[in-house]
Structure 1
Amino acid sequence: MPKNRSLTFRDRPILLLSTGHACVDVYQGAVAALVPFFVSERAYTYAAASGIVLAASLLSSVVQPLFGALTDRWAMPWLLPVSTLLAGAGVALSGLGGSYALTLAVVAVSGIGVAAYHPESARVARRASRGSHVAMGWFSLGGNLGFAAAPLLVSAVVATGGLRATPLLALPAVAGAALCAAALRMARAPGDAPGARAASRAAGRDDWASFRRLTGAIMCRSVVFVGLSAFVSLHVRQRTGWGQLAGTAALFVLYLGGAVGTVAGGRLAGRYGRTTVVRWSYALAVPAVAGVVLVPGPALYLFVALTSAALYVPFSLHVTLGQDYLPRRVGTASGVTLGLAVSVGGVASPLIGALADVTSLRVALAPLVALPAVGWLLLRPLREPGAPGAPRVPGAAPAADAPSAPREV
Structure 2
Amino acid sequence: MRRNTSITLLSAGHACVDIYQGAVAALLPFFVSERGYSYAVASGVVLAASVLSSVAQPLFGVLTDRWPMPWLLPVSTLLGGAGVALSGVSGSYPLTLVFMALSGMGVAAYHPESARVARIASRGSHNAMGVFATGGNIGFGLAPLMVGVVVGAGGLRWTPALVIPALAGTALCLPVLRALRADQALGTAASVPAGSDDVASFVRLSLAVVFRSIAFVGLSTFISLYAEQRTGGGTAAGTAALTVLYLGGAVGSVLGGSLAGRWDRVTVSRWSYVLAVVAVAGVVWVPGPALYLFVALTSVGLYVPFSLQVTLGQDYLPSRIGTASGVTLGLTVSIGGLAGPALGSLADATSLQTALAPLVLMPVLSRLLFGTLREPGGTRRHDTTPGTATGHADGATAVPTAPGHRSPKP
Structure 1 position 45, deviation (Å): 6.6
* 1:122 and 2:115 are equivalent in the alignment: yes
1:5-37 per-position Cα deviation (integer Å, ceiling 9, x unaligned) = xxx964100000001011111222223434455
| Alignment-mate amino acid for residue 210 of structure 2 | M
Which has the larger displacement, 208-217 or 293-302? 293-302
Does the CA contact (< 8 Å) of 1:21 and 1:142 recur in 2? Answer: yes
CA 1:83–1:135: 2 relative to 1, 3 Å = same
Does the CA contact (< 8 Å) of 2:145 and 2:243 recur in 1? Answer: no
TM-score relative to the length of structure 2: 0.85
Instruction: Give the 3-state SS of the residue equivalent to 2:399 in structure 1.
Output: helix
Instruction: Give the 3-state SS of the residue equivalent to 1:75 in structure 2.
Output: coil
Does the CA contact (< 8 Å) of 1:24 and 1:84 recur in 2? Answer: yes
Q: After superposition, where does 1:318-397 map in structure 2 within 5 Å?
A: 318-387=309-378, 397=396
Equivalence for 1:400: 399
* 1:253 and 2:244 are equivalent in the alignment: yes
Does the CA contact (< 8 Å) of 1:137 and 1:262 recur in 2? Answer: yes
Equivalence for 1:144: 137
Does the CA contact (< 8 Å) of 2:144 and 2:242 recur in 1? Answer: no
| Alignment match of 1:15 (pick from 8, 16, 24) | 8
Note the residue ranges of structure 1 that are not aligned, 5 or more in a row: 1-7, 405-409
| Alignment match of 2:269 (pick from 278, 284, 298) | 278
Equivalence for 1:316: 307
Does the CA contact (< 8 Å) of 1:262 and 1:312 recur in 2? Answer: yes
Equivalence for 1:81: 74
1:93-151 per-position Cα deviation (integer Å, ceiling 9, x unaligned) = 33445555444333322221111111000000011111222211111111111122223
Structure 1 position 195, deviation (Å): 6.5
1:340-374 per-position Cα deviation (integer Å, ceiling 9, x unaligned) = 34323212233233333344433333322222121
Does the CA contact (< 8 Å) of 2:137 and 2:249 recur in 1? Answer: yes
CA 1:46–1:313: 2 relative to 1, 3 Å = closer
CA distance in 2, matches of 1:400, 1:213: 23
Equivalence for 1:57: 50
Which has the larger displacement, 181-190 or 141-150? 181-190
Does the CA contact (< 8 Å) of 1:133 and 1:267 recur in 2? Answer: no
Equivalence for 2:18: 25
| Alignment match of 1:133 (pick from 115, 120, 126) | 126
CA 1:181–1:307: 2 relative to 1, 3 Å = same
Does the CA contact (< 8 Å) of 2:12 and 2:169 recur in 1? Answer: yes
Does the CA contact (< 8 Å) of 1:275 and 1:383 recur in 2? Answer: yes
Does the CA contact (< 8 Å) of 1:126 and 1:403 recur in 2? Answer: no
Aligned residues: 391
CA distance in 2, matches of 1:289, 1:32: 18
Does the CA contact (< 8 Å) of 1:191 and 1:197 recur in 2? Answer: no
Equivalence for 1:169: 162
CA distance in 1, matches of 2:85, 2:288: 41
CA distance in 1, matches of 2:36, 2:285: 36
CA distance in 2, matches of 1:97, 1:297: 37
CA distance in 2, matches of 1:241, 1:76: 48
Does the CA contact (< 8 Å) of 1:123 and 1:403 recur in 2? Answer: no
Does the CA contact (< 8 Å) of 1:127 and 1:403 recur in 2? Answer: no
Equivalence for 1:5: none
| Alignment-mate amino acid for residue 273 of structure 2 | Y
Q: After superposition, where does 1:96-245 map in structure 2 within 5 Å?
A: 96-97=89-90, 100-188=93-181, 190=183, 192=185, 198=191, 200-201=192-193, 203-239=194-230, 245=236
Structure 1 position 247, deviation (Å): 4.3
CA distance in 1, matches of 2:236, 2:24: 22
Equivalence for 2:387: none
CA distance in 2, matches of 1:33, 1:78: 29
Note the residue ranges of structure 2 that are not aligned, 5 or more in a row: 381-390, 404-410
| Alignment-mate amino acid for residue 218 of structure 1 | V
Judging by fraction of residues, say which structure has more helix: 1
| Alignment-mate amino acid for residue 87 of structure 1 | G
1:218-264 per-position Cα deviation (integer Å, ceiling 9, x unaligned) = 11111211222233344445555665544443333322311211111
Structure 1 position 283, deviation (Å): 1.6
Q: After superposition, where does 1:285-300 map in structure 2 within 5 Å?
A: 285-300=276-291
| Alignment-mate amino acid for residue 316 of structure 1 | S
Equivalence for 1:66: 59
Does the CA contact (< 8 Å) of 2:26 and 2:239 recur in 1? Answer: no
1:62-111 per-position Cα deviation (integer Å, ceiling 9, x unaligned) = 11111010001011111111111122222333344555544433332222
Does the CA contact (< 8 Å) of 1:18 and 1:141 recur in 2? Answer: yes
TM-score relative to the length of structure 1: 0.85
Instruction: Give the 3-state SS of the residue equivalent to 2:261 in structure 1.
Output: helix
CA distance in 2, matches of 1:188, 1:122: 16
Instruction: Give the 3-state SS of the residue equivalent to 1:192 in structure 2.
Output: coil
Structure 1 position 323, deviation (Å): 0.7
CA distance in 2, matches of 1:311, 1:47: 25
Structure 1 position 51, deviation (Å): 3.6
| Alignment-mate amino acid for residue 231 of structure 1 | F
Instruction: Give the 3-state SS of the residue equivalent to 1:272 in structure 2.
Output: coil
CA distance in 2, matches of 1:223, 1:77: 30
Structure 1 position 301, deviation (Å): 3.4
